Amino acid sequence: MKLSGCLILAVGIYLKVTNNANQITSGYLPGADLMIAIGVIIMVLGFLGCCGAIRENRCLLLLFFISLLIIFILLLAAGILGAIGQKQVENWVKEQMDNLNPLSGQPAEVVSDLEKIQIQLHCCGLLNGPSDWGSSIPSSCNCNSTVANCGNNVYYTTPCATKVITLMKNSMVIVLGIAFAIAVLLIFGMAFSMVLYCQIGRKEGATRPANA
């Protein structure tokens, strides 16, 4: 459990560092923060479970089991809510990006981040394409002839909101996959703690008459 927590924490920190390089996309990719939180919690619980197993402490094992059960229920609820509210999340991203219009009135760092996105994701503008820039369309919107969806267009026609939503969906798939793996580990952890809890109980019950 502790090793899996360390691995999840490391992946979460990596995603956090890479996403924070851009102020626009980092706000729409919460998976990194979730993974960091889960990694820390699992590491703490793994230490708790190890102490309970080594010391044969039934209270620690029971606390370990209850904690894993709570996390399992929360992961299950989050997965259900994520599947149901996917469309609402897309609408929320579009609303947040619409707040950045007009682009001419945004700070220089926001404009710089958007231009980085346009170069990396082969898109232009936020919601309406090149028209979001008005008459001053930056060179980052220039369509690269080597890009398949460029065609005969001078600028990329796909709005960056569409690309960011796709990026967000891919990130959610990764997070859900990791959450599924965590859920499996939680089930094994709960089963192990409960079996050990019962064995210690039987052991203590068998030794009491002899001591008496």
pLDDT reading at 92 higher than 60: yes
pLDDT reading at 20 higher than 60: no
Report the distance separating Cα 117 and Cα 158, nearest Å. Answer: 12
The pLDDT tens digits of the residues spanning 56-86 come to 788 888 888 888 888 888 777 766 766 666 6
DSSP result, 141-201: GBPPTTSTT-TT-SB--S-HHHHHHHHHHHHHHHHHHHHHHHHHHHHHHHHHHHHHHHHHH
pLDDT of the residue at 212: 46
The structural domains of the chain, with segments of one domain joined by +, span 2-211
Q: Which residue has the tokens 């044969």?
A: 56
Q: What is the pTM of this model?
A: 0.62
**CATH T-level topology, domain 2-211:** Cd81 Antigen, Extracellular Domain; Chain: A (1.10.1450)
Of the candidates 8, 6, 44, 2, which has an alpha carbon nearest to the alpha carbon of residue 181?
8
The pLDDT tens digits of the residues spanning 96-118 come to 777 777 777 778 888 888 888 88
Report the distance separating Cα 167 and Cα 184, nearest Å. Answer: 26
Report the distance separating Cα 146 and Cα 61, nearest Å. Answer: 59
Q: Higher-confidence residue: 11 or 175?
A: 175
Q: Per the structure block, which two tokens stand in for 202? A: 């039987």
The pLDDT tens digits of the residues spanning 162-193 come to 888 887 777 777 777 777 777 888 888 888 88
